[in-house]
Structure 1
Amino acid sequence: MTQSVYTVTGMTCGHCVTSVTEEVSALDGVQHVDVDLPTGTLTITSDTPPTTDDVRAAVTEAGYELANA
């Protein structure tokens, strides 16, 4: 298992966290997603690390932005 950490911008509420969690959880190999609203930290636990482009696409689909990674 590996962990990848990113920063998501634009989240303001619990619904934001749920949206990001659902989209990122759908990526291949992802086992667990933790989103910390106050810091905007997105931690992904996966079999193999997803590509930054895949994570960015999932976060964008949820309606938010991935900070420079």
Structure 2
Amino acid sequence: MPVVKVKGMSCQHCVNAVTEAMQGLGAKEVKVDLTSGDVTYEEDAPISPEAIKAAIKKIGFEVA
């Protein structure tokens, strides 16, 4: 299961925003851990790191 580190998340709204952004890229079973900043997900087809960084940046967070 791929893992992405996201900086700047602090609440359930952040979790929802990151989850929706990842699902918009085709990710499934997205799980966000606020404490560690880890976002894990399943993918049917590989999602490029550049696409993930762009989607996360667009909603106001940073990929570590």
TM-score (norm 2): 0.90
Runs of 4+ in 1 over 3 A off after TM superposition: none
Structure 2: 5+ residue stretches without partners: none
Number of corresponding residues: 64
Cα RMSD of the aligned pairs, angstroms, is: 1.0
Post-superposition offset of 1:31: 2.0
Post-superposition offset of 1:63: 1.0
Sequence identity, in percent? Answer: 39
Tell me which residue corresponds to 2:41.
44
1:56 alignment partner, SS class: helix
Structure 1: 5+ residue stretches without partners: none
Q: Once the two structures are superposed, what CA deviation does each residue of 1:13-55 show, in whole Å capped at 9, x if it has no partner?
A: 1111111111111003x22211111110011211122000011
TM-score (norm 1): 0.84
Tell me which residue corresponds to 1:14.
12
Which of residues 50, 55, 59 in structure 1 aligns to 2:52?
A: 55
